[in-house]
A and B are shown apart, each in its own frame.
Chain A
Amino acid sequence: MRMLSGWGRFPKVECRVIRARNQEDVRQAVLEAPLIARGNGRAYGDAALNPGLTLDMTGMDRMRSFENGVLVAEAGVLLGDIIQAFLPRGWFPMVTPGTKLVSLGGAIAADVHGKNHHIDGSFRSCVDWIDLMGPDGTVTRTKPGEALFDWTLGGMGLTGVILRAQIRLRRVETSWIVQESEALTSLTDTIAAFEGAMDAPYSVAWINCSAGKTHGHSILLKGRHALPHDLPMDRTEFDLGRPGKTPVPFGLPFLFKGTALRTINSLYWRLQRRKAGRAVVDWDSYFYPLDGLANWNKLYGRHGFVQFQCALPRDTAEAGLAEIMEAIAASDQGSVLSVLKRFGSQSGPFSFPMEGYTLAMDFPANKRSLALMERLDTITLAHNGRFYLAKDARMPKAVAQADPRAADFAEMRKQAGLAERFTSVQSRRLGL
């Protein structure tokens, strides 16, 4: 038995853990007890926790073949390993979330999205096939166009154990990113700027959700892969670097409320405004700014933190986001580094992204935050929004079930005999 939690360190659950090193290990585990597969534990909440049996897939992290950008790898391989191996040869993941420490299996299960969702869609758009172990221990290779494939992308590991997959990488000519940043002073301006940036390959904004003079101020970051001629003379085209990780020595929960938080957010905005404009930045700090802090999840102290991430349809997004930001300001809870992103169209039956906007925030795990998040649930639902299961740790069942797709997913799981084999704390909480 081991005490496990997601990246938010909330909730913590005592789980029996078995580590799989090959397909036979997985088969034995699947036949032994109901379970959930777990990758590198980067989902924030309880999606990869199951007390009866949690199957640790990090021992299955082999790359099997690579040719012309097409990679076959086991589920436990991390995106960071893929980058380390292939960026020097001119290849980069087609879609990447904000951490490179996710496993391939986890990226598929959560159908992660990146800063390029409005152009390239979610992770599914680079997956050619998945080998999935079903409830009876047999392995099925599922491909785009098949129902099982569709449900598996975004299915949170509840359709079977993802063993390996074939994905396509993107050709890049350098390891650098040309970044354009812009400081904006209101939500309306930020949304207008996003709408004007639809052809930027990557875009994301940091937005200040704590009230005060700089409430609603944002920094919009647009990016594209640099070409050799974009680089200053002294830079090599592929510089992977191996920056050390700075450990966080202790929790600093007092920084995450009230005046301290408002001050940090407004200082950050002013600092970024000064640096606004064009810059050539390295791939690691552009895509994965927080990975440099080895355990930033400990900053919130021992109780951990909870992420809230919702998506709102394009036509209701501005009104909905304004209400959410007002509710946060009124609660005085605040959030550091609230991240806003424009989504492109929806592509899977159970994946999170939808045409519109997504806002991600983290809050310390305490009663007041949880109460605030219930308020945010109501606002999101009133604006026809939905929630990201990879970030969720606390949604009530009724909220999850307000998304009509949840009932379809649960019905499919029941029909296919998946429900009794693949189960997590989250799936039981949400009735999936």
Chain B
Amino acid sequence: MSRPILILGAASDMARAVARSFAAEGHPIQLAARNVSRLDEDASDLRTRFGVEVTVHEFDALATDSHKAFVEALPTLPAVAVCAVGTMGTQAESEADPLAAAQVMRANFEGPASILAHLANAMEARGAGTLVGISSVAGDRGRASNYVYGSAKAGFTAFLSGLRNRLAKKGVHVVTVLPGFVNTAMLEGISTPAPLTAEPEEVGAAIVKAVKRNTNVIYTRPIWRIVMAVIRNIPEPVFKKTSI
């Protein structure tokens, strides 16, 4: 069980939980985020708790021209790369300022797609590996309340689907994660229905399981699959009048 796991966007609550879930299985961990010094406390936590080797790496999802070099500089090409990069922004700000909207789109689609493209090529050349993209149920249908974020996630979900299709014959597996509401900093101050709200630890455990079983798409709380099936199938003339 000594294959390294790379966590991109490692400073978030969800990423921390994902790193712990993999480290608990004995995997060495590569943590990557902006301001790498922020990762030191989490790195020592993983080492202390699980006795695994942890390395930290400077990574800027928006600096797409640095991504090729980032992948080449990794000490070992990871067995699994989990992309937890993303930001919700606020819909109001995105509506008022299209430049702010563009930043949200870049952080949720362009950056994650770029880094996974480089990792995909490296894993394809090796002929093995798993890529995990944390997308969102918000990408399943654009809604007035967060369609900028949702559209970027929709793009990312489609990207992951295509990547999975392309790499399926090359020994590389792609997992799409649609977490639904998760009790993290991103949702702080927003009240969400308890049965639909997962803890970050649940997401971590679900991802480890999906990687082991080569699952394609996971909703961390299964009820979301039903909720989103309903939302996707509301006819547009009706949907445009709702505020879901």
Whether a CB of chain A sits under 8 angstroms from the CB of B42 is yes
Given contacts A22-B41, A59-B13, contact A66 B188 (CB under 8 A): no
* Chain A residues near B50 (CB-CB < 8 A): 85
Binding site for A on B (CB under 8 A): 13, 41-42, 44-45, 48-50, 185, 188, 191
Contact A63 B49 (CB under 8 A): yes
Given contacts A19-B185, A19-B188, A59-B13, contact A65 B48 (CB under 8 A): yes
> Bound state CA distance, A171 and B191, in angstroms?
44
Nearest residue in A to B11 (C-beta to C-beta)? A21
A1-36 contacts to B (CB < 8 Å): 2, 19, 21-22
5 A/B residue pairs, CB under 8 Å, sorted by A: A22-B41, A59-B13, A62-B42, A64-B45, A81-B49
Which residues does chain A contribute within 8 Å of B13, judged by CB atoms?
21, 59
Minimal Cβ-Cβ distance residue in B for A65: B48
Task: Choose among A2, A22, A66 the residue with the greatest number of B CB atoms under 10 Å from its CB.
Answer: A66
A residues 152-206 near B (Cβ < 8 Å) are: none
Are B49 and A64 interface neighbours, CB within 8 A? Answer: no
Closest-by-CB residue of A relative to B38 is A22
Across the two chains, which residue of chain B brings its CB closest to A19? Answer: B188
Chain A proximity of B14: nearest CB distance (Å)? 12
Contact (Cβ within 8 A) A63 B185: no
Instruction: Report the bound CA distance from A63 to B188 in whole Å.
Output: 24
Given contacts A22-B41, A59-B13, contact A64 B48 (CB under 8 A): yes
Further pairs besides A21-B13, A65-B44, A71-B48: 10, Cβ < 8 Å: A2-B191, A22-B41, A62-B41, A63-B44, A63-B48, A64-B41, A64-B48, A81-B49, A85-B49, A85-B50
Chain A residue contacts of B44, Cβ below 8 A: 62-65
C-alpha gap A188/B48 in the complex (Å): 48
Q: What is the bound-complex CA distance between A85 and B191, given in angstroms? A: 33
A85 to B45 Cα, complex, angstroms: 11
In the bound complex, CA of A81 to CA of B42 (Å): 15
State A59–B17 Cα separation when bound (angstroms). Answer: 11
Contact in complex: B41, A66 (CB < 8 Å): no
Closest residue on chain A to residue B183 by CB atoms: A19
Taken together as a complex, chains A and B put the C-alpha atoms of A255 and B46 apart, in Å, by: 45
Q: How far is the CA of A65 from the CA of B49 in the complex (A)?
A: 8
Which chain B residues border A63 with CB–CB below 8 Å? 44-45, 48-49
Q: Which of B42, B48, B185, B191 contacts A66 (CB 8 A)?
A: B48
CB distance from B117 to the nearest CB of A (A): 31
Q: Which 10 A-B pairs have the closest CB atoms?
A: A62-B45, A63-B48, A85-B49, A66-B48, A63-B49, A63-B45, A64-B44, A62-B41, A65-B48, A64-B48
**A274-330 interface with B by 8 A CB criterion:** none
Cα A158 to Cα B41 in complex, Å, equals 27
* Complex alpha-carbon distance, A213 and B150, angstroms: 67
Q: Which residues of A contact B188 (CB under 8 A)?
A: 19
A2 to B194, CA, bound (A): 13
Q: How far is the CA of A21 from the CA of B45 in the complex (A)?
A: 13
Near B by CB (< 8 A), chain A positions 347-371 give none
Interface residue from B41, B48, B185 paired with A85 (Cβ < 8 Å): B48
Task: Please report the C-alpha to C-alpha distance between residue A254 and residue B187 in the assembled complex, in whole angstroms.
Answer: 39
Q: Give the residue name and chain of the B residue nearest to A60 (CB).
A: B41
Could you tell me the distance between the alpha carbons of A122 and B227 in the complex, rounded to whole angstroms? 50
In the bound assembly, the distance between CA atoms of A71 and B49 in angstroms comes to 10
B185: chain A residues within 8 A (beta carbon): 19, 21
Contacts of A65 in B (CB 8 A): 44, 48
Q: Report how far A2 CA is from B191 CA in the complex, Å.
A: 9
**Whole-angstrom distance between the alpha carbons of A59 and B41 in the complex?**
12
**Cβ–Cβ < 8 Å partners of B41 in chain A:** 22, 62, 64
Contacts of A85 in B (CB 8 A): 48-50
- Cα A31 to Cα B13 in complex, Å, equals 24
Task: Give B87 Cβ to nearest chain A Cβ, in Å.
Answer: 16
A64 to B42, CA, bound (A): 8
A358 to B22, CA, bound (A): 43
In the complex, what distance in Å separates the CA atom of A63 from the CA atom of B41? 8
Bound CA–CA A83/B75 (angstroms): 32
Q: Which parts of A54-96 form the interface with B (CB within 8 Å)?
A: 59, 62-66, 71, 73, 81, 85
Contacts of A64 in B (CB 8 A): 41, 44-45, 48
**For the complex, what is the distance from the CA of A40 to the CA of B210, rounded to whole Å?**
29
Give the distance in Å from the alpha carbon of A19 to the alpha carbon of B200 in the complex.
14
Least Cβ distance of B150 to chain A in Å?
A: 25
Q: Quick one: which of A21, A22, A73, A81 has the most chain B CB within 10 A?
A: A21
Task: Give Cα distance in the complex from A78 to B42, angstroms.
Answer: 16
Q: What CA separation (Å) do A21 and B17 show in the bound complex?
A: 13
Give the nearest-CB partner of A18 in chain B: B188
What's the minimum C-beta distance from A17 to chain B, rounded to whole angstroms?
9
- The complex places the Cα of A62 from the Cα of B41 at a distance, in Å, of 7
Q: Which residue of B lies closest to A81 (CB)?
A: B49
Shortest CB-to-CB span from B13 to chain A, Å, is: 7
A101 vs B189: C-alpha distance in the bound complex, in angstroms? 25
Question: Chain B residues with Cβ under 8 A from A71's Cβ?
Answer: 48
